[in-house]
Structure 1
Amino acid sequence: MSGIVTLVPPQDRAVTLEEARQQLRLDAHDEDMLLAVHLDAAQAELERLADLRLCPQALAMVLDAWPDEITVPVRPVTIAAITYTATGGATVTLPEAAYVARARHGFVRIRPAAGTSWPTLAPDGQITITLSAGFAEGHPDLAIARAAILVKTASLFENREGAGCLAFDTLVNQLAARWV
Protein backbone atom coordinates (compact mmCIF):
# COMPACT_ATOMS: atom_id res chain seq x y z
CA MET A 1 0.00 0.00 0.00
CA SER A 2 1.24 3.47 -0.78
CA GLY A 3 -0.06 6.90 -0.03
CA ILE A 4 0.98 10.50 -0.40
CA VAL A 5 0.84 12.73 2.64
CA THR A 6 1.55 16.44 2.77
CA LEU A 7 4.36 17.33 5.16
CA VAL A 8 4.54 21.05 4.38
CA PRO A 9 1.55 22.44 2.47
CA PRO A 10 1.91 25.12 -0.18
CA GLN A 11 2.21 28.58 1.32
CA ASP A 12 0.45 30.34 -1.57
CA ARG A 13 -2.02 29.77 -4.38
CA ALA A 14 -0.81 29.58 -7.96
CA VAL A 15 -2.98 32.64 -8.71
CA THR A 16 -3.41 35.46 -6.22
CA LEU A 17 -6.70 37.05 -5.29
CA GLU A 18 -5.49 40.31 -6.82
CA GLU A 19 -4.73 38.61 -10.15
CA ALA A 20 -8.21 37.09 -10.16
CA ARG A 21 -9.75 40.48 -9.36
CA GLN A 22 -7.87 41.97 -12.33
CA GLN A 23 -9.06 39.15 -14.60
CA LEU A 24 -12.66 39.85 -13.57
CA ARG A 25 -12.18 43.65 -13.51
CA LEU A 26 -13.36 43.84 -9.90
CA ASP A 27 -12.42 46.89 -7.84
CA ALA A 28 -14.28 46.02 -4.65
CA HIS A 29 -13.23 43.39 -2.13
CA ASP A 30 -16.74 42.47 -1.00
CA GLU A 31 -16.75 39.14 -2.88
CA ASP A 32 -13.19 38.07 -1.99
CA MET A 33 -14.36 35.05 0.02
CA LEU A 34 -16.35 33.69 -2.92
CA LEU A 35 -13.51 34.47 -5.30
CA ALA A 36 -11.03 32.66 -3.02
CA VAL A 37 -13.27 29.57 -2.95
CA HIS A 38 -13.43 29.59 -6.75
CA LEU A 39 -9.63 30.00 -7.02
CA ASP A 40 -9.05 27.05 -4.70
CA ALA A 41 -11.61 24.91 -6.56
CA ALA A 42 -10.10 25.74 -9.96
CA GLN A 43 -6.57 24.97 -8.78
CA ALA A 44 -7.64 21.71 -7.12
CA GLU A 45 -9.50 20.60 -10.24
CA LEU A 46 -6.53 21.39 -12.48
CA GLU A 47 -4.10 19.57 -10.17
CA ARG A 48 -6.40 16.52 -10.05
CA LEU A 49 -7.05 16.38 -13.80
CA ALA A 50 -3.40 16.87 -14.80
CA ASP A 51 -1.77 14.95 -11.88
CA LEU A 52 0.24 18.05 -10.98
CA ARG A 53 1.21 19.94 -7.85
CA LEU A 54 1.59 23.58 -8.85
CA CYS A 55 2.98 25.31 -5.76
CA PRO A 56 6.11 24.29 -3.83
CA GLN A 57 5.36 21.83 -1.03
CA ALA A 58 6.91 18.88 0.79
CA LEU A 59 5.27 15.46 0.48
CA ALA A 60 5.96 11.96 1.70
CA MET A 61 5.13 8.73 -0.09
CA VAL A 62 4.84 5.76 2.25
CA LEU A 63 5.25 2.14 1.07
CA ASP A 64 4.94 -1.18 2.90
CA ALA A 65 7.34 -3.06 0.60
CA TRP A 66 9.96 -2.49 -2.08
CA PRO A 67 8.46 -2.88 -5.57
CA ASP A 68 10.79 -3.52 -8.53
CA GLU A 69 10.30 0.08 -9.57
CA ILE A 70 8.61 2.87 -7.60
CA THR A 71 6.45 5.32 -9.56
CA VAL A 72 5.73 8.61 -7.81
CA PRO A 73 2.09 9.43 -8.68
CA VAL A 74 2.46 13.23 -8.56
CA ARG A 75 4.53 15.62 -10.62
CA PRO A 76 6.74 17.58 -10.83
CA VAL A 77 8.81 16.23 -7.96
CA THR A 78 12.38 15.70 -6.88
CA ILE A 79 13.49 13.12 -4.33
CA ALA A 80 14.64 14.74 -1.09
CA ALA A 81 15.32 11.48 0.80
CA ILE A 82 14.42 7.81 0.98
CA THR A 83 14.31 6.21 4.42
CA TYR A 84 13.31 2.70 5.45
CA THR A 85 13.00 0.55 8.53
CA ALA A 86 15.92 -1.89 8.53
CA THR A 87 15.72 -5.42 9.96
CA GLY A 88 17.06 -4.25 13.34
CA GLY A 89 14.24 -1.69 13.60
CA ALA A 90 16.41 1.36 12.95
CA THR A 91 15.36 4.00 10.43
CA VAL A 92 18.04 4.21 7.74
CA THR A 93 18.48 6.80 4.98
CA LEU A 94 19.17 5.19 1.62
CA PRO A 95 22.28 6.78 0.03
CA GLU A 96 21.60 8.59 -3.27
CA ALA A 97 24.12 6.29 -4.98
CA ALA A 98 21.92 3.29 -4.12
CA TYR A 99 19.04 4.31 -6.39
CA VAL A 100 18.31 5.95 -9.72
CA ALA A 101 15.43 8.41 -10.10
CA ARG A 102 14.40 9.31 -13.64
CA ALA A 103 11.40 11.02 -15.15
CA ARG A 104 9.70 8.73 -17.64
CA HIS A 105 6.34 9.53 -19.22
CA GLY A 106 6.15 12.57 -16.95
CA PHE A 107 6.41 10.66 -13.67
CA VAL A 108 9.53 10.05 -11.58
CA ARG A 109 10.40 6.38 -11.38
CA ILE A 110 12.86 5.07 -8.82
CA ARG A 111 14.76 1.80 -9.04
CA PRO A 112 17.88 0.35 -7.46
CA ALA A 113 21.17 1.50 -8.98
CA ALA A 114 22.82 -0.84 -11.47
CA GLY A 115 24.23 -3.93 -9.80
CA THR A 116 22.32 -3.38 -6.56
CA SER A 117 18.98 -4.37 -5.08
CA TRP A 118 16.71 -2.80 -2.51
CA PRO A 119 17.86 -3.30 1.10
CA THR A 120 16.07 -5.75 3.39
CA LEU A 121 13.06 -4.23 5.09
CA ALA A 122 11.99 -5.11 8.64
CA PRO A 123 8.90 -7.39 8.76
CA ASP A 124 6.66 -4.52 9.88
CA GLY A 125 8.85 -1.82 8.35
CA GLN A 126 8.01 0.84 5.88
CA ILE A 127 9.65 2.99 3.26
CA THR A 128 9.21 6.77 3.29
CA ILE A 129 10.14 8.80 0.22
CA THR A 130 10.30 12.50 1.01
CA LEU A 131 9.52 14.65 -2.02
CA SER A 132 9.81 18.28 -3.02
CA ALA A 133 6.89 19.03 -5.32
CA GLY A 134 5.72 21.99 -7.37
CA PHE A 135 6.88 24.25 -10.16
CA ALA A 136 9.56 26.89 -9.83
CA GLU A 137 8.34 30.43 -10.47
CA GLY A 138 8.70 31.25 -14.17
CA HIS A 139 8.30 27.65 -15.39
CA PRO A 140 6.39 27.71 -18.71
CA ASP A 141 3.95 25.04 -17.56
CA LEU A 142 3.10 27.13 -14.52
CA ALA A 143 2.10 29.95 -16.87
CA ILE A 144 -0.32 27.60 -18.68
CA ALA A 145 -1.71 26.40 -15.35
CA ARG A 146 -2.19 29.96 -14.10
CA ALA A 147 -4.06 30.89 -17.30
CA ALA A 148 -6.31 27.85 -16.87
CA ILE A 149 -7.04 28.74 -13.24
CA LEU A 150 -7.91 32.33 -14.17
CA VAL A 151 -10.25 31.16 -16.95
CA LYS A 152 -11.97 28.60 -14.72
CA THR A 153 -12.26 31.03 -11.81
CA ALA A 154 -13.86 33.64 -14.08
CA SER A 155 -16.26 31.03 -15.42
CA LEU A 156 -17.22 29.87 -11.91
CA PHE A 157 -17.63 33.45 -10.71
CA GLU A 158 -19.71 34.62 -13.67
CA ASN A 159 -21.79 31.42 -14.02
CA ARG A 160 -22.57 30.72 -10.40
CA GLU A 161 -25.18 28.12 -11.19
CA GLY A 162 -22.49 26.05 -12.90
CA ALA A 163 -21.52 25.74 -16.53
CA GLY A 164 -18.83 23.96 -18.45
CA CYS A 165 -15.68 25.86 -19.32
CA LEU A 166 -14.24 24.73 -22.65
CA ALA A 167 -11.23 27.06 -22.39
CA PHE A 168 -10.27 25.51 -19.04
CA ASP A 169 -10.65 21.97 -20.38
CA THR A 170 -8.50 22.84 -23.39
CA LEU A 171 -5.72 24.35 -21.24
CA VAL A 172 -5.77 21.40 -18.81
CA ASN A 173 -5.52 18.94 -21.71
CA GLN A 174 -2.64 20.96 -23.19
CA LEU A 175 -0.84 20.98 -19.85
CA ALA A 176 -1.43 17.27 -19.23
CA ALA A 177 -0.16 16.42 -22.73
CA ARG A 178 3.11 18.25 -22.04
CA TRP A 179 3.79 15.79 -19.21
CA VAL A 180 3.26 12.56 -21.16
Structure 2
Amino acid sequence: MGLVRVTPPQGDVIPLEELRRQVRVDHADEDDDIRTLAAGVVSFLEGDGTGLESCWLGRVLLPQSWALTLDAFPARAIMLPIGPVIAVESITYIDADGDAQEIDSEKYRLLADRLPAEIVPAFGESWPLAREEEAVITVTFRAGYAGGQELDSPPGPSAVPKSICQAIKLIVAHWYANRETVNIGNIVNNLPWAAEALLTPQRTALSRLAWSDRP
Protein backbone atom coordinates (compact mmCIF):
# COMPACT_ATOMS: atom_id res chain seq x y z
CA MET A 1 0.00 0.00 0.00
CA GLY A 2 1.21 3.48 -0.87
CA LEU A 3 -0.17 6.86 0.19
CA VAL A 4 0.96 10.23 -1.19
CA ARG A 5 -0.43 13.73 -1.35
CA VAL A 6 -1.32 14.75 -4.90
CA THR A 7 -2.56 18.31 -4.45
CA PRO A 8 -1.33 20.38 -1.47
CA PRO A 9 -3.67 22.59 0.56
CA GLN A 10 -4.07 26.28 -0.17
CA GLY A 11 -4.44 29.08 2.36
CA ASP A 12 -3.89 29.36 6.11
CA VAL A 13 -5.54 27.30 8.81
CA ILE A 14 -5.35 30.26 11.20
CA PRO A 15 -5.68 33.80 9.82
CA LEU A 16 -2.58 35.93 10.30
CA GLU A 17 -4.55 38.46 12.35
CA GLU A 18 -5.41 35.78 14.91
CA LEU A 19 -1.81 34.65 15.12
CA ARG A 20 -0.65 38.22 15.67
CA ARG A 21 -3.08 38.59 18.56
CA GLN A 22 -1.91 35.29 20.03
CA VAL A 23 1.74 36.36 20.03
CA ARG A 24 0.79 39.94 20.99
CA VAL A 25 2.24 41.63 17.93
CA ASP A 26 0.47 44.63 16.41
CA HIS A 27 2.73 45.27 13.41
CA ALA A 28 3.60 43.50 10.17
CA ASP A 29 7.37 43.40 10.59
CA GLU A 30 7.37 39.80 11.80
CA ASP A 31 4.58 38.41 9.61
CA ASP A 32 6.94 36.14 7.69
CA ASP A 33 8.35 34.65 10.91
CA ILE A 34 4.88 34.08 12.32
CA ARG A 35 3.71 32.42 9.12
CA THR A 36 6.79 30.19 9.11
CA LEU A 37 6.10 29.05 12.67
CA ALA A 38 2.44 28.32 11.84
CA ALA A 39 3.45 26.41 8.72
CA GLY A 40 5.87 24.33 10.80
CA VAL A 41 3.09 23.35 13.21
CA VAL A 42 0.68 22.38 10.43
CA SER A 43 3.42 20.48 8.59
CA PHE A 44 4.08 18.41 11.69
CA LEU A 45 0.40 17.67 12.29
CA GLU A 46 -0.30 16.77 8.65
CA GLY A 47 3.08 15.34 7.70
CA ASP A 48 5.06 15.88 4.54
CA GLY A 49 2.59 14.18 2.23
CA THR A 50 4.47 10.89 2.00
CA GLY A 51 2.11 8.73 4.03
CA LEU A 52 0.58 8.11 7.43
CA GLU A 53 3.99 7.52 9.02
CA SER A 54 4.76 11.25 8.74
CA CYS A 55 1.30 12.44 9.86
CA TRP A 56 1.28 12.79 13.66
CA LEU A 57 -2.38 13.76 13.82
CA GLY A 58 -3.69 11.26 11.29
CA ARG A 59 -5.91 14.02 9.93
CA VAL A 60 -5.40 16.82 7.43
CA LEU A 61 -6.83 20.28 7.89
CA LEU A 62 -7.39 22.26 4.70
CA PRO A 63 -8.72 20.50 1.55
CA GLN A 64 -6.15 18.46 -0.38
CA SER A 65 -6.04 15.44 -2.68
CA TRP A 66 -4.38 12.12 -1.85
CA ALA A 67 -3.69 8.94 -3.82
CA LEU A 68 -3.81 5.50 -2.22
CA THR A 69 -2.30 2.64 -4.21
CA LEU A 70 -3.16 -1.02 -3.61
CA ASP A 71 -1.85 -4.31 -4.95
CA ALA A 72 -5.31 -5.92 -4.97
CA PHE A 73 -8.92 -5.13 -4.16
CA PRO A 74 -9.93 -6.11 -0.61
CA ALA A 75 -12.68 -8.60 0.16
CA ARG A 76 -15.05 -5.74 0.99
CA ALA A 77 -13.94 -2.29 2.17
CA ILE A 78 -11.11 -0.06 0.97
CA MET A 79 -9.83 1.80 4.03
CA LEU A 80 -8.67 5.40 3.58
CA PRO A 81 -5.96 6.02 6.22
CA ILE A 82 -6.05 9.85 6.11
CA GLY A 83 -9.15 11.83 7.02
CA PRO A 84 -11.56 13.45 7.24
CA VAL A 85 -12.52 12.32 3.74
CA ILE A 86 -14.62 14.73 1.69
CA ALA A 87 -15.10 12.73 -1.50
CA VAL A 88 -13.67 10.01 -3.69
CA GLU A 89 -12.38 11.51 -6.93
CA SER A 90 -11.65 8.28 -8.79
CA ILE A 91 -10.83 4.59 -8.49
CA THR A 92 -8.68 3.30 -11.34
CA TYR A 93 -7.06 -0.07 -11.91
CA ILE A 94 -5.30 -2.24 -14.46
CA ASP A 95 -7.47 -5.13 -15.56
CA ALA A 96 -6.38 -8.68 -16.33
CA ASP A 97 -5.66 -7.71 -19.95
CA GLY A 98 -3.36 -4.88 -18.91
CA ASP A 99 -5.78 -2.09 -19.80
CA ALA A 100 -6.44 0.94 -17.56
CA GLN A 101 -10.01 1.11 -16.25
CA GLU A 102 -11.98 3.48 -14.03
CA ILE A 103 -14.84 2.30 -11.84
CA ASP A 104 -18.12 4.18 -12.24
CA SER A 105 -18.87 6.16 -9.09
CA GLU A 106 -22.35 4.60 -8.93
CA LYS A 107 -20.76 1.22 -8.28
CA TYR A 108 -19.32 2.11 -4.89
CA ARG A 109 -20.20 4.05 -1.73
CA LEU A 110 -18.08 6.25 0.51
CA LEU A 111 -18.66 5.74 4.24
CA ALA A 112 -17.13 9.07 5.25
CA ASP A 113 -18.58 9.12 8.77
CA ARG A 114 -16.32 6.25 9.82
CA LEU A 115 -12.80 6.67 11.10
CA PRO A 116 -11.00 5.61 9.06
CA ALA A 117 -13.38 6.23 6.18
CA GLU A 118 -14.19 3.26 3.95
CA ILE A 119 -15.24 2.67 0.36
CA VAL A 120 -17.51 -0.32 -0.21
CA PRO A 121 -19.19 -1.73 -3.33
CA ALA A 122 -22.73 -0.51 -3.91
CA PHE A 123 -25.58 -2.94 -3.34
CA GLY A 124 -25.33 -5.81 -5.78
CA GLU A 125 -21.85 -4.81 -6.93
CA SER A 126 -18.40 -6.24 -6.26
CA TRP A 127 -14.85 -5.14 -6.91
CA PRO A 128 -13.56 -6.03 -10.40
CA LEU A 129 -10.69 -8.38 -11.11
CA ALA A 130 -7.41 -6.51 -11.27
CA ARG A 131 -4.14 -7.63 -12.72
CA GLU A 132 -1.87 -9.45 -10.26
CA GLU A 133 0.79 -6.81 -9.93
CA GLU A 134 2.00 -4.24 -7.42
CA ALA A 135 0.21 -0.89 -7.20
CA VAL A 136 -2.34 -1.66 -9.91
CA ILE A 137 -5.16 0.13 -8.09
CA THR A 138 -5.21 3.86 -7.39
CA VAL A 139 -7.82 5.54 -5.22
CA THR A 140 -7.72 9.33 -5.44
CA PHE A 141 -9.67 11.13 -2.75
CA ARG A 142 -10.14 14.57 -1.28
CA ALA A 143 -9.63 15.10 2.44
CA GLY A 144 -9.73 17.97 4.92
CA TYR A 145 -12.28 20.01 6.84
CA ALA A 146 -14.08 21.50 3.89
CA GLY A 147 -17.73 20.54 3.64
CA GLY A 148 -18.45 20.71 -0.06
CA GLN A 149 -15.88 23.34 -0.96
CA GLU A 150 -13.38 22.95 -3.74
CA LEU A 151 -9.62 22.67 -3.29
CA ASP A 152 -9.07 26.24 -4.42
CA SER A 153 -11.63 27.58 -1.93
CA PRO A 154 -10.33 26.51 1.48
CA PRO A 155 -12.65 26.92 4.45
CA GLY A 156 -12.25 29.38 7.28
CA PRO A 157 -10.75 28.25 10.56
CA SER A 158 -14.24 27.49 11.91
CA ALA A 159 -14.30 24.35 9.72
CA VAL A 160 -11.31 22.91 11.57
CA PRO A 161 -12.04 21.68 15.12
CA LYS A 162 -11.59 24.51 17.60
CA SER A 163 -9.29 22.41 19.78
CA ILE A 164 -6.87 21.97 16.86
CA CYS A 165 -6.98 25.69 16.02
CA GLN A 166 -6.35 26.63 19.63
CA ALA A 167 -3.46 24.16 19.88
CA ILE A 168 -1.83 25.61 16.76
CA LYS A 169 -2.05 29.12 18.21
CA LEU A 170 -0.60 27.97 21.54
CA ILE A 171 2.34 26.27 19.85
CA VAL A 172 3.03 29.26 17.60
CA ALA A 173 3.00 31.58 20.63
CA HIS A 174 5.30 29.24 22.57
CA TRP A 175 7.75 28.97 19.69
CA TYR A 176 7.62 32.71 19.08
CA ALA A 177 8.61 33.35 22.68
CA ASN A 178 11.29 30.65 22.68
CA ARG A 179 12.67 30.78 19.15
CA GLU A 180 16.25 30.06 20.13
CA THR A 181 15.34 26.79 21.89
CA VAL A 182 12.90 25.35 19.36
CA ASN A 183 14.03 22.59 17.03
CA ILE A 184 11.28 22.08 14.45
CA GLY A 185 12.83 18.78 13.44
CA ASN A 186 12.16 17.54 16.97
CA ILE A 187 8.75 19.15 17.32
CA VAL A 188 7.16 16.39 19.37
CA ASN A 189 9.39 17.38 22.29
CA ASN A 190 8.56 21.06 21.85
CA LEU A 191 4.78 20.88 22.33
CA PRO A 192 3.41 22.92 25.24
CA TRP A 193 1.46 20.70 27.63
CA ALA A 194 -1.82 22.51 27.00
CA ALA A 195 -1.45 22.12 23.21
CA GLU A 196 -0.63 18.43 23.52
CA ALA A 197 -3.69 17.96 25.75
CA LEU A 198 -5.87 19.58 23.08
CA LEU A 199 -4.37 17.59 20.21
CA THR A 200 -4.10 14.12 21.72
CA PRO A 201 -7.86 13.37 21.64
CA GLN A 202 -7.89 14.36 17.96
CA ARG A 203 -5.24 11.82 16.98
CA THR A 204 -6.55 8.83 15.04
CA ALA A 205 -5.95 5.25 16.11
CA LEU A 206 -4.01 4.61 12.90
CA SER A 207 -1.65 7.53 13.54
CA ARG A 208 -1.02 6.33 17.09
CA LEU A 209 -0.21 2.90 15.72
CA ALA A 210 2.07 4.28 13.02
CA TRP A 211 3.96 6.33 15.63
CA SER A 212 3.96 3.68 18.36
CA ASP A 213 7.63 2.78 17.84
CA ARG A 214 8.86 6.39 17.73
CA PRO A 215 11.03 7.65 20.58
Q: TM-score, normalised by structure 1?
A: 0.84
Match in the other structure for 2:187: none
Match in the other structure for 1:32: 31
Q: CA deviation at 1:102?
A: 1.3
Match in the other structure for 2:194: 167
Match in the other structure for 1:63: 70
Counterpart pick for 1:121 among 125, 130, 148: 130
Deviates more, 1:90-99 or 1:78-87: 90-99
Counterpart pick for 2:164 among 122, 141, 145: 145
Separation in 1 of the partners of 2:191 and 2:93?
Answer: 45
**Secondary structure at 1:156's aligned position in 2?**
helix
**Secondary structure at 1:84's aligned position in 2?**
strand
Q: TM-score, normalised by structure 2?
A: 0.71
Counterpart pick for 2:117 among 100, 108, 116: 108
Task: Name segments (4+ residues, structure 1) moved above 4 Å.
Answer: 138-141
Match in the other structure for 2:185: none
Separation in 1 of the partners of 2:109 and 2:202?
Answer: 26
Match in the other structure for 2:81: 73
Amino acid at match of 1:20: L
| More strand as a share of residues | 1
Q: Do the aligned partners of residues 123 and 153 (structure 1) sit closer, same or farther apart at CA in structure 2, a change above 3 Å counting?
A: same
Separation in 1 of the partners of 2:18 and 2:71?
Answer: 43
Separation in 2 of the partners of 1:142 and 1:13?
Answer: 14
Match in the other structure for 2:92: 83
**Residue-by-residue CA offset, 1:27-65 (whole Å, 9 max, x unaligned):** 233333332221012112333332111001122111121
C-alpha contact 1:54 1:142 (8 A) present in aligned 2 = no
Specify every segment of 5 or more residues in structure 2 that has no aligned partner in the other structure, as ranges: 47-54, 147-154, 183-189, 205-215
Separation in 1 of the partners of 2:18 and 2:96?
Answer: 53
Match in the other structure for 1:3: 2
Give identity over the alignment, percent: 32
Match in the other structure for 1:133: 143
C-alpha contact 1:46 1:149 (8 A) present in aligned 2 = no
Aligned length: 176
Match in the other structure for 1:14: 13
* Residue 108 of structure 2 is aligned to residue 99 of structure 1: yes
**Secondary structure at 2:29's aligned position in 1?**
coil
Q: Do the aligned partners of residues 118 and 164 (structure 1) sit closer, same or farther apart at CA in structure 2, a change above 3 Å counting?
A: closer
Q: Do the aligned partners of residues 16 and 104 (structure 1) sit closer, same or farther apart at CA in structure 2, a change above 3 Å counting?
A: closer
**Secondary structure at 1:62's aligned position in 2?**
strand
C-alpha contact 1:46 1:145 (8 A) present in aligned 2 = no
Amino acid at match of 1:40: A
